[in-house]
Amino acid sequence: MIYLRSISIPLSRYSTRENTGSNDYDALNLSLEKRYANRWSGRVSYSLSKSRGTAENQADKNTFQKLTDLNLDEFEGPSSVDRRHVLALNGRAEIPKTGGANLSATMRYMSGAPFSIFNSNIDVDQNGELNDPSPAGTYSGTAPDSMQGVQNDGGRNGAVGPDYFQLDLRAGWRRRIRGEQAIELFLDIFNVTNRANFDNPAGDERLPATFLVLNSLRGGGGFPRQAQSRPRDARAAPRTTRTARGSRTNPALGRAWGISGTDRKFPQPMSTCILCS
Ligand SMILES: [Ca+2]
């Protein structure tokens, strides 16, 4: 990892690069998948991880350096991308006796990411950098919409910001109309719970108007609950596919897809169709 070391000379200062930073990432990743069969499929993924070190980006500037001492021990802390828990669920099911109606859902959850609490009024180490971490403790903002009771462990990235949750649903219906052509009608609902997912707040105690205020939605503008619905043409799936049990006939599903005679075999899951528009 490359670091920028600042060097001061009379009336000026400049930086040189050093390969002195490091970062460790440890994780346990688990997933359980139910392949598409008996009209439904699903997947659960979970990650328990920890990321910690003295550097994150190739151009990190060490703001804890004092004179020629990098003070990397003080820079040691959680990475900004250190989200301890990440959980994702998704599933899809076909509704029997509806001629191709299906429901699917996706849920994502992430625990909060770290950020630093500091006071730019105070330069504790007198190195000219105004981001010396505030002491460990519990902090609350005073402005409207600010976080309350934030536990700060002290040091770089000692606090944890808001977590993230989003649930999306889709209800659809599709049917083969001619040859390889199929039509699909669907209704998507994004952010079903209308959850406001925020980026980390500012951590500068000197600025009470913004300190711990949640005012930036994740992903830029973020978005509230919204829905879209429209028909579209879709290229139909091949008439045969091989499942875990091999290629089998299914007259009921074949009729739903407009497949006749001996070609009544499991079509591929609809999510694999290639859209024409
Ligand atoms: Ca300082």
Spacing, Cα 116 to ligand 1 middle (Å)? 13
Mean pLDDT of the chain: 82
Query: Is a pLDDT exceeding 70 seen at residue 243?
Result: no
Distance 260 CA to ligand 1 centre (A): 76
- Cα gap 158→153, rounded to integer Å: 5
CA of 122 to the centre of ligand 1 (A): 8
List CB contacts of 148: < 8 A, sequence separation 6 or more: 140, 141, 212
Ligand 1 centroid to 21 CA: how many Å? 19
- pLDDT over threshold 50, residue 159: yes
Higher pLDDT, 272 or 239: 239
**Å from CA of 121 to ligand 1 middle:** 10
Distance of CA 184 to the CA centre of its chain: 29
277 pLDDT tier (thresholds 50, 70, 90): very low
Residue 62 Cα to ligand 1 middle (Å):
10
**Residue 274 pLDDT grade (very low, low, confident, very high; cuts 50, 70, 90):** very low
For 195, other C-beta atoms within 10 Å of its C-beta total 15
pLDDT in tens, 181-208: 888 898 999 999 999 999 999 999 999 9
64 CA from centroid of ligand 1 (Å): 6
Query: What would the pLDDT profile of 42-54 be if each residue is shown by its tens digit?
Result: 999 999 999 999 9
Ligand 1 centre from 119 Cα, in Å? 10
Q: Whole-prediction pTM value?
A: 0.75
User: What's the pLDDT tens digit per position in 87-96?
Assistant: 999 999 999 9
DSSP string, the chain: --EEEEEEETTEEEEEEES---EEEEEEEEEEEEEEETTEEEEEEEEEEEEEES--STTEE-TT-BTTB--HHHH-EE-TT--SEEEEEEEEEEPTTSSSEEEEEEEEEEPPPEE--B-TT--TT-SS---PBPPSEEE---STTB--SEEE-SSTT-EE---EEEEEEEEEEEEEEETTEEEEEEEEEESTT----BPPPB-BTT-TTTBTB---BTTSS---SEEEEEEEEEEPPPS---BTTBS-B-HHHHHHTT--GGG-BPPPPGGGPPB--
Q: How far is the CA of 148 from the centre of ligand 1 (A)?
A: 26
pLDDT over 50 (residue 112): yes
Please report which confidence band the pLDDT of residue 245 belongs to, taking 50, 70 and 90 as the band edges: very low
Distance 128 CA to ligand 1 centre (A): 5
CA of 163 to the centre of ligand 1 (A): 29
Between 2 and 18, the higher pLDDT residue: 18
In tens, the pLDDT along 248-266 reads 444 444 444 444 444 434 3
**Maximum C-alpha span of the chain:** 89
Ligand 1 centroid – CA 126 distance (Å): 5
Place of tokens 């219906």: 173
- What percentage of the chain reaches a pLDDT higher than 90? 54
CA 60 to centroid of ligand 1, rounded, Å: 16
Structure tokens given for 244: 């875990």
Are residues 211 and 219 in contact, defined by beta-carbon separation less than 8 angstroms?
A: no
CA 205 / ligand 1 centre spacing (Å): 15
Q: Which amino acid is at 158?
A: G
Tokens 């490359």 — which residue?
A: 2
pLDDT digits over 67-79, tens only?
888 898 998 999 9
